[in-house]
């Protein structure tokens, strides 16, 4: 995954030093066929690509395929943070992904 090189404007407070981070969340996944619960960290993302579940044919989200991973840029002086999504063109659009397109103007 490419890390964007973005220019960062000075913060409203005048701060010029920022922390860039990709926040994670702890999620648990129940795998009933092996009677096991797994907990893992995954990146916050705009969407996860789905794949059909073998037994039911129902679509499940694949936690290994995040799209639009979120990155936060936080001012070290005041803590004001701004979010950015990486590789937004790769984010699937549709209700099944919880995404939609909005155009300005
Ligand atoms: Zn600041």
> pLDDT tens, 28-60?
766 555 566 677 788 999 998 876 566 666 656
What's the CA-to-centroid distance between 22 and ligand 1, angstroms? 19
Does 13 fall in a domain?
A: no
The answer to whether residue 2 sits within a structural domain is no
Tens of pLDDT along 74-104? Answer: 999 999 999 999 999 999 999 888 899 999 9
Q: Which residue range forms the structural domain that includes residue 30? A: 18-97
With respect to residue 10, please indicate whether it lies within any of the assigned structural domains: no
Distance CA 54, CA 62 (A): 13
* 43 part of a folded domain: yes
Indicate the pTM of the whole model: 0.74
**Residues with a beta carbon under 5 angstroms from ion ligand 1:** 11, 13, 15, 75, 77-78, 80
User: 17 CA to middle of ligand 1, Å?
Assistant: 8
Question: Is 8 among the domain residues?
Answer: no
Cα distances from 65 to residues 8, 11, 77, 78, in angstroms, run 28, 33, 34, 34
The total domain count for the chain is 1
Reduced to 3 states, what is the DSSP secondary structure of residue 6?
coil
45 belongs to a structural domain:
yes
Specify if 89 maps to a domain.
yes
Inside any domain, residue 11: no
Q: Give the separation between CA 40 and CA 76, rounded to whole angstroms.
A: 29
């Amino acid at each position: 995954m490419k890390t964007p090189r973005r220019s960062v404007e000075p913060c409203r407070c005048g701060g010029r030093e920022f922390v860039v981070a990709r926040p994670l969340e702890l999620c648990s996944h129940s795998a009933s066929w092996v009677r096991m619960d797994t907990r893992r960290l995954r990146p916050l993302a705009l969407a996860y690509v789905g794949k059909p579940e073998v037994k039911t044919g129902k679509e499940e989200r694949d936690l290994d395929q995040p799209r639009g991973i979120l990155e936060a840029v936080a001012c070290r002086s005041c803590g004001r943070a701004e979010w950015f999504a990486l590789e937004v063109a790769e984010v699937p659009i549709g209700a099944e992904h919880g995404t939609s397109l909005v155009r300005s103007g």
